[in-house]
Structure 1
Amino acid sequence: MKKDSYIQLLEKPELISQEHLSDITAIIQEYPYFQSARALRLKILKNQESYKYNNELKITASHTSDRTVLFDFITSETFKEVPKKEEKTSLKEKILPKIKTTKISIIEENLAIGKPLSFTENETFSFNQWLQLSSKKTIARTSNNKTPKELVKETPVKSKHEAIIDRFIETTPKISRPDKTNISDIKISENQQNNQLATETLAKVYLEQKKYDSAIQAYKILSLKYPEKSGFFADQIKRIQILQNNK
């Protein structure tokens, strides 16, 4: 891609199209930490409503020095603007009958699972939740060319100070559990905070992460906040419960 063409896309991201994807991908492969190129690639995937967008958003964030700039970009009107698609009916669609989709696939489509997540300027919490790693794996480290099994068999020799601390922990009386009837102020404040932060985007984030219980809870909170949409949220909850039972 020529320098002038690339600068024009940076100045007017709405001009970017599928035709630019291969060129921008090639730039990223050569310069993995080229932040503006990754941002433009995000725009292309967003326009396509590609299932790759959500994961690409995480990758782009990990290569971005200032995530607030990235957040401002993906919540801007320019980024959200999608060019009109030309309606084309292929010969295959005219001749071949449409394939019946399964019940689960229909539910996933209704829940918009796999569709690009769209954040607003007030949803930094939802954005940060999406960037969190779903799981953490411990790294098995070896030393002195020993295998992990050999390292496990070795029991470290405790010092006198460590032995004294161990005896103290064993002999010190344990603190009794608080009465269940007493509700702490901390839990109340946390619940209030969760109620304020609950949005439809956050519920979709939990769905993409397959945190179904959290998604259901988010929709329940939204149902109380927006009673005029309680019917829609109730349908979403039912669909999620079906996914839970068939996972």
Structure 2
Amino acid sequence: MTSQELTDLLQIPQLVSPKQTYMLRDILDEFPYFQSARAMFLKGLKNTESFKYNQALKVTAAYTSDRSILFDFITSDTFNQNEISQYIKQNADYINGLEVLMEDISVDTTGDVDQTLKQHIEDTVVILDPDLFQPKKDDAGTENSELKEEEEINKKTVSISNLDKKEIESFLNIGKPFQFAKTETHSFNEWLNISKFKPIKREIEDSPKEEPNLERAKKFELIDKFISKNPKLEAKKAKTSSHNIAKAQMIQPEALMTETLARIYVEQKNYKKAIQSYKILSLKYPEKSGFFADQIKAIHKLQE
């Protein structure tokens, strides 16, 4: 990659191509603290929905001193713009193929707008007369709709039970880039804490030899003399935090639960927490309880 190409990418990072993404990886191997290159590398992986994105985001967070800036970047409109542009490209042929006829073009009729509006208002007053309405009787229609909903749920259950492991992983979006919203700072920080590298524990082979009793006694004697001759040191008062601790403790766990965090637990194979998360989400968003129930069934299937 030439310096001019790199400069152009720095100005418009959303135009990074798959080929340039791999070239940026080579640059990062040589210059790991090149933050701008890491940002463009992340953008390139996100554009292709690469399975390497989540790991690259984790490494970028390790090289970033202020992770709030990184979070603002990955949740910005510029970073997520590719999904919109891809949708436009997919529908470009359809839009270009549309034929517009003269009859479809609206004609300016501002002169008749007021009269038409008045007529609509008068018609609406008559239509909304409460005396013209009668209470709807309960019939077998509601029972039929409930039966249809149960049949749809059963169909979903059967389809999930017939999926193999790869299809289940695809259904749970395992390996796909995490999509954090601007309000999901807790989920982002929780993911970094869960996935941080554990330090390597090394056993010490040679235990340190004990010092002779005489040398140890001399050291304690010197410490006692120092304490007796020098005045007592006053401990510094700890600064009290100005933020409202009570308010922070009032935040309920369900308020911090998000779909992204549930996905993170699935990725980490912490299936117990993932199931608990989806149960909390189903109570938090009852309109999506069917979707969360399918996620739980898929996790149980993955554990088999």
Q: Which TM-score applies when normalising by structure 1?
A: 0.70
**Cα deviation digits, residues 168-213 of structure 1 (max 9, x gap):** xxxxxxxxxxxxxxxxxx9xx68x5210011111111111111111
Between stretches 75-84 and 223-232, larger displacement belongs to: 75-84
Residue type of the alignment partner of 2:174: I
Pair 1:24-2:86 in alignment: no
Structure 2: distance between partners of 1:118 and 1:133: 17
Residue type of the alignment partner of 1:242: K
Regions of 4+ moved over 6 Å: none
- Secondary structure (helix, strand or coil) at the match of 1:216 reads helix
Pair 1:228-2:275 in alignment: no
Residue type of the alignment partner of 1:27: I
Contact 1:50/1:116 (<8 A) preserved: yes
Between stretches 16-25 and 78-87, larger displacement belongs to: 78-87
Aligned with residue 112 of structure 1, among 165, 173, 179? 173
Residue type of the alignment partner of 2:3: K
Q: Which TM-score applies when normalising by structure 2?
A: 0.58
- Report the alpha carbon displacement of residue 137 of structure 1 after superposing the two structures with TM: 4.7
Pair 1:77-2:136 in alignment: no
- Percent of matched pairs sharing the same residue: 51
Cα pair distance change 1:155/1:114, threshold 3 Å: farther
**Cα deviation digits, residues 39-97 of structure 1 (max 9, x gap):** 1111111111111111111001101121111111100111112253989xxxxxxxxxx
Between stretches 11-20 and 54-63, larger displacement belongs to: 11-20
Cα pair distance change 1:33/1:242, threshold 3 Å: same
Aligned with residue 136 of structure 1, among 189, 198, 201? 198
Contact 1:53/1:116 (<8 A) preserved: yes
Aligned-residue RMSD, C-alpha: 2.8
Match of 1:199 in 2: 258
- Secondary structure (helix, strand or coil) at the match of 2:252 reads helix
Structure 2: distance between partners of 1:36 and 1:65: 13
Structure 1: distance between partners of 2:263 and 2:61: 19
Alignment of 1:1-247 (within 5 A): 1-82=1-82, 83-84=85-86, 103-134=164-195, 136-142=198-204, 147=205, 151=207, 193-244=252-303, 246=304
Structure 1: distance between partners of 2:62 and 2:177: 18
Structure 2: distance between partners of 1:78 and 1:109: 27
Cα pair distance change 1:233/1:155, threshold 3 Å: farther
- Secondary structure (helix, strand or coil) at the match of 1:220 reads helix
Between stretches 120-129 and 15-24, larger displacement belongs to: 15-24
Structure 2: distance between partners of 1:11 and 1:72: 18
Structure 1: distance between partners of 2:76 and 2:7: 19
- Report the alpha carbon displacement of residue 218 of structure 1 after superposing the two structures with TM: 1.2
Give the length in aligned residue pairs.
Answer: 195
Structure 1: distance between partners of 2:80 and 2:301: 31
Between stretches 67-76 and 19-28, larger displacement belongs to: 19-28
